[in-house]
């Protein structure tokens, strides 16, 4: 068994806003990892990031996590496979867990690191010091002002005619 992960998250998030992370579990081995086997994922939340409730899962049953409700916690989540996990790259796997987190109140760039025990055991390497590409993954998010822009103008203008454009800029974030 050679389990792998791929983590994704938002490119940007509003300060203190909601954001969603997804961790996909892959099988880099040559044989299926059987239904009923467990996967254990460690997820080091960035400073100020909080996950309040257990993630939902696809292809997994009975997901349990420690570290919920504490900003910057090390989440350790264990789930049981509901079906065999055939050899597949993590990025295209149908086995994954998704959770909603609260972004920190401070602005800047955050990196959320996660790791998996590649043997199917319960001891993933520390996510923040992980270096093996297949068993470690991260998501980088810019936190702060979330600007929007909209431009309006006429659909048609007569030759040599004048036209007026309106550009509106908005701040959808909290800073």
**153 vs 7: which has the higher pLDDT:** 7
Q: What is the pLDDT of residue 174?
A: 46
Is the CA virtual torsion 136, 20, 51, 66 positive or negative? negative
Pure H helices in 85-139: none
In the numeric block, which tokens belong to residue 22?
Answer: 């997804």
Interval 122-134: pLDDT, tens: 888 888 787 777 7
**Does pTM surpass 0.75?**
yes
**Residues 127/146, Cβ–Cβ less than 8 Å:** no
- pLDDT tens digit string along 101-121? 999 999 999 999 999 998 888
Average pLDDT taken over every residue of the chain:
88
């Amino acid at each position: 068994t050679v389990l792998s992960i791929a983590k994704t998250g938002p490119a940007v998030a509003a300060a203190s806003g909601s954001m969603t992370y997804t961790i996909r579990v892959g099988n880099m081995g040559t044989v299926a990892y059987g239904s009923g086997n467990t996967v254990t994922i460690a997820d080091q939340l960035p400073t100020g990031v909080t996950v309040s409730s257990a993630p939902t899962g696809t292809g997994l049953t009975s997901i349990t996590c420690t570290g919920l409700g504490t900003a910057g916690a090390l989440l350790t989540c264990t789930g049981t496979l509901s079906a065999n996990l055939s050899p597949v790259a993590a990025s295209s796997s149908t086995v994954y867990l998704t959770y909603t987190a609260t972004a920190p109140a401070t602005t800047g760039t955050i990196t959320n690191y996660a790791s998996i025990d590649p043997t199917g055991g319960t001891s993933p390497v520390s996510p923040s010091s992980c270096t093996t590409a297949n068993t470690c993954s991260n998501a980088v998010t810019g936190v702060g002002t979330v600007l929007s822009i909209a431009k309006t103008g006429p659909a048609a203008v007569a030759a040599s005619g004048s036209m007026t454009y309106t550009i509106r800029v908005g701040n959808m974030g909290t800073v």
